[in-house]
Amino acid sequence: MKIVIINGSVRKGNTLAAIEAFSKGAEEKHEIEVIQADKLNIGFCMGCGACECHKGCVHTDDTNATIDKLVAADLIVFATPVYWWGMTAQTKLIMDKCYCRGAQLKGKKIGVLVPGGSPVDAVQYQLIKKQFECIEEYLSWDMLFFKPFYASGKDDIRNDAATVEELIQLGKSL
Ligand SMILES: Cc1cc2nc3c(=O)[nH]c(=O)nc-3n(C[C@H](O)[C@H](O)[C@H](O)COP(=O)(O)O)c2cc1C
């Protein structure tokens, strides 16, 4: 599979550690590309409707090239820390732009990795999961995994051998 991972975190902390461990497991069998969301120049969706959900975005920024990568992916992994009970703004910016070619993004396999500063039974993970489940239904996606992580310190995932191993095995299982 071609796996495209969206890293919705700026810092080299838990989300990156989760991505690295997952990739270590997956890279034997699959091609992996990581999109560093904060490095992209993507304007806000203006809701202009010119895209008609298939023509692409009118913005002459990184939007269309990014959506090209998502359209070409067999599996899209959204890796985002919890910010204010939701995904980060940079993740949401890409999510919003999926609207411009939603018709071409139908039927994708997706996965979600979500480190947060609270235990995994906290409501923020349910909120984020529900949001992805709604998008899954709308775009006929197939969510292969949704993994929340309790990681309040910057290196919590990197220093947690069991979690790292779990992520490696998750990548290998694909
Ligand atoms: C602006 C901001 C908002 C946050 N909001 C939440 C939150 O609502 N719930 C939560 O559990 N953690 C929250 N956190 C904690 C992060 O999700 C957590 O530290 C995560 O591991 C950070 O991932 P990173 O190291 O990849 O940046 C917040 C952190 C920041 C900086």
Nearest CA to ligand 1 atom 8: 84
Q: Cα of 157 to ligand 1 centre, how many Å? A: 13
Whether the CB of 6 sits within 6 Å of ligand 1: no
Q: Cα of 82 to ligand 1 centre, how many Å? A: 5
CATH number of the domain to which 112 belongs:
3.40.50.360
Number of domains in the chain: 1
Asked if 34 and 23 touch (Cβ cutoff 8 Å), the reply is: yes
Write out pLDDT tens, residues 67-103: 999 999 999 999 999 999 999 999 999 999 999 999 9
CA distance 73 to 26: 14
Amino acid identity of residue 150, one-letter, is Y
Write out pLDDT tens, residues 110-165: 999 999 999 999 999 999 999 999 999 999 999 999 999 999 999 999 999 999 99
Q: Cα of 160 to ligand 1 centre, how many Å? A: 18
Average pLDDT, the chain: 98
> pTM above the 0.95 mark?
yes
Write out pLDDT tens, residues 21-75: 999 999 999 999 999 999 999 999 999 999 999 999 999 999 999 999 999 999 9
Whether the CB of 13 sits within 6 Å of ligand 1: yes
Strand ranges in 43-134 using DSSP code E only, listed in sequence order: 75-79, 109-116
C-alpha atoms less than 13 angstroms from C-alpha of 57 in its C-beta half-sphere: 25
- The pLDDT of residue 98 is 97
Element (H, E) at 16: helix 14-26
Give the nearest ligand 1 atom to 82 CA. 17
Asked if 6 and 12 touch (Cβ cutoff 8 Å), the reply is: no
Q: Dihedral of CA 39/134/27/16: which sign?
A: positive
Whether the CB of 84 sits within 6 Å of ligand 1: yes
Cα 111 to chain centroid, rounded: 7
Best substitution site from 12, 38, 83 to test ligand 1's pocket, by max atoms within 8 Å of Cβ? 83
Q: What phi and psi values does residue 38 have, to the nearest 5 degrees? A: -70, -15
Nearest in space to 86 (alpha carbons), one of 29, 41, 126: 126
Amino acid identity of residue 137, one-letter, is E
> Which two tokens mark 110?
């997706």
Give the domain range for residue 126: 2-172
Best substitution site from 5, 12, 36, 82 to test ligand 1's pocket, by max atoms within 8 Å of Cβ? 82
Q: Cα of 120 to ligand 1 centre, how many Å? A: 13
